Amino acid sequence: MDSVQKSPIVPAVIPIAKQKAPIKTSEKTDKRSKLDSIFFDKKPKDSSIQKLDTLIAELDKKLEEEAEDEESDLKKILTGNNIFYSMVLLLIGYFAIRVVTFILNALAERSTTYRIAFKGSIPIVKIIGWVIILTLIIMVIFQPTAATMLAFSASIGVAVGFASQDILKNIFGGIVILLDRPFVSGDKIEIDKYYGEVVEIGLRSTRIVTPDDSLVAVPNAVMMNSSLSNSNSGEPNCQVVAEIFLPITVDTIAVRKIATQAATVSKYIYLEKPITILFINEVNNNHTYYKMKVKAYVMDIRDEFKFKSEMTELIIKELVHQNILDGSF
């Protein structure tokens, strides 16, 4: 048999992947410890954070010491003697203001010309008087430090601001009225449905006496937010308007002369201002007639309605006497 020659077997070369260098155990431990310190370690070891904690503790201690000092200052201020002398000074100031107000009212009632000036000064005297009294009590009797006064004022301001907002609105309204002076005590004003003489301007409300002798207290906040009409604007005299209805056939020239003479002879007339007679054509139920308006000024605003009544009576009486009007019913 022929011998078969076998080819030599060549071993296959298999490429081996390049392996990374092994990581040292110490490096793994360092990285793991850093991660643990970031995510799991709750105790800060930074020196800046420790300094911040120390600073916060010192501030807390300082605030506690200041609070204790303020409390001790208040105890020194609010003594029995200080409270007693404050009450005495308040009583003296109260009666002094009452006496000055009484004198000003008495002077106002004696003089028609200067009545409004005297009455208008009463609210200002009251405010100045109470400011002086409170300043004396705080600065002379209690004598608080600047820090104590600031803290006390802030506390009282916040408490009062939340508890009495409506009262504060009225107080600010009263101060604005005294400064802006849209009216003064003694003026005749009309606000909403009320008309009458202003007898007092307080910090909370303004008091008005109506023609039927009713006393109405209107809050100052309402006075500031409503339309207001002033009849005399600080003067003792004001205009009075009397209305008389006449037939359309009446002689307006003769009637104007009679109305002017009747207004002139009234004991309440203020002759330094003009008398005006107006005729207005009115239609009612298909009937045409004249509405005569007699405008004249009264010497004293308190005689407004007396003057209006007397002027109307005199004019109608004279028109009937001269047969211009029919006196029969």
Provide the pLDDT for residue 152: 67
- Average pLDDT for 164-181: 81
Provide the pLDDT for residue 14: 47
- Average pLDDT for 298-326: 90
CA distances from 272 to 117, 129, 301 (A): 20, 39, 15
Is residue 277 within 8 Å of 256, Cβ to Cβ? yes
- Distance between CA atoms of residues 217 and 219, nearest Å: 7
Residue located via tokens 């009576």: 313
Q: How many CA atoms are closer than 13 Å to the CA of 312, on its beta-carbon side?
A: 16
- Distance between CA atoms of residues 259 and 262, nearest Å: 5
Is residue 119 within 8 Å of 188, Cβ to Cβ? no
Provide the pLDDT for residue 174: 85
- Distance between CA atoms of residues 123 and 24, nearest Å: 94
Provide the pLDDT for residue 10: 46
Provide the pLDDT for residue 315: 92
CATH of region 178-230: 2.30.30.60
- What is the DSSP code string of 60-104? HHHHHHHHHHHHHHHHHHS-HHHHHHHHHHHHHHHHHHHHHHHHH
Contacts of 137-140 with C-beta under 8 Å, sequence gap 24+, read: 137/86, 137/89, 137/90
Provide the pLDDT for residue 13: 47
pTM for the predicted model, two decimal places:
0.62
Residue located via tokens 């009679």: 258
pLDDT digits (tens, 9 = 90+) for 57-89: 777 766 666 666 556 666 666 777 888 888 999
- Average pLDDT for 224-233: 88
Query: What's the CA angle centered on 248, arms 244 and 253, to 5 degrees?
Result: 75
- Sheet strand arrangement including 276-284: 238-247, 287-298, 276-284
- The class (CATH top level) of 238-321 is alpha beta
- Sheet strand arrangement including 194-201: 215-219, 205-209, 194-201, 188-191, 228-230
Cα torsion 252, 296, 209, 229 to 10°: value is: 90
- Distance between CA atoms of residues 14 and 19, nearest Å: 15
Around Cβ 31, how many Cβ atoms within 10 Å?
A: 10
Is residue 116 within 8 Å of 107, Cβ to Cβ? no
Residue located via tokens 């028109």: 319
Please provide the distance, in angstroms rounded to a whole number, between the alpha carbons at the two ends of the chain. 176
- Average pLDDT for 93-117: 87
Provide the pLDDT for residue 99: 93
Provide the pLDDT for residue 39: 47
Tokens of 277: 């007679």
